[in-house]
Amino acid sequence: MKTDALFYKLFRLSPKSLFRLVKLNLQGNYAFESITVKTTEKRFDGFMKRTDGEGPNVFVEIQGYDDNTIYWRSFREVCIWYEENDSGRPFILIILFTDDKYDPDNRMLSPRPPCRLIRKNLADCLKGIGKKAGVLAVLRPLLLSDSKKDRAKLPELMPQWEKDIRSLDLPEHETKELTELLLYAVVQRFRKLTLEEVEKMIELTPLDQTVAVQELIQINEKKILEKTARKLLSMGLLTPTQISQATGLSLREVKALRNSGKSTH
């Protein structure tokens, strides 16, 4: 699961939290899902359709990497979706950038009202919702940088974020899911966290069954395997194929370690 999956799970649990995040005022109830445009086999990060009346279709793209064609691509997929579906509803296209640096700011198309394009920067959105973030509190870790200074703040911030979630007085299963999403946001932002550090910050039982910790365990295990492979490479006694068989790393990964020049001498 990557960062866009974090948003998918959050907005599926609470569709209106997306509207609050980007300050979009829409009436009625919406359901959040992920859809694939059949002709191109391209998947939208999110699609929302009103379930209790007429309202615009809402298409959502979470952008967390450089893509100079993001605007062209998003408009194309909206157009193809309407070509494939018999819908007379207007649309709202939301492009949410996880960092302002990913916005190429090269849009050349503008939909005619009542259709709209909404482009937002996540940091600005989170700062704009104030202290009472509601379920959006799970995204708070994404405001921090992956630095030692911000990492040192986590033991103090994590209990407060957990408290904010529990104060929402939601059903227990929803509280648990939001707490797991909070943990996942932390692991996504701070890639160097150890399992021991995570265990000290959060009280989830059983912790090792959460997606975030399972991914963290895999990352730590791979780091150990890579360290072993580097030592074997430095010894020069085994071929890359033999090292691949011994460590479980792919042959490509072993060769990449050898070519990186980071082998232990």
Q: Which helix (H) or strand (E) holds 49?
A: strand 42-50
Farthest CA pair distance, the chain = 70
d(C-alpha 58, C-alpha 49), whole Å = 6
Domain ranges in the chain are 1-129, 137-205, 214-260
Query: pLDDT digit of tens for each residue in the chain (265 aa)?
Result: 455 788 988 999 999 999 999 999 999 999 999 888 777 677 788 999 999 999 999 999 999 889 999 999 999 999 999 999 989 999 999 999 999 999 999 999 899 999 999 999 999 999 888 778 889 999 999 888 888 899 888 888 888 888 888 899 899 889 888 888 888 888 778 877 776 776 666 654 444 545 555 555 565 566 666 777 787 788 777 788 878 887 778 888 888 888 875 544 4
d(C-alpha 135, C-alpha 2), whole Å = 19
φ and ψ at 32, to 5 degrees?
Answer: -105, 130
Pair 112, 91: CB distance under 8 Å? no
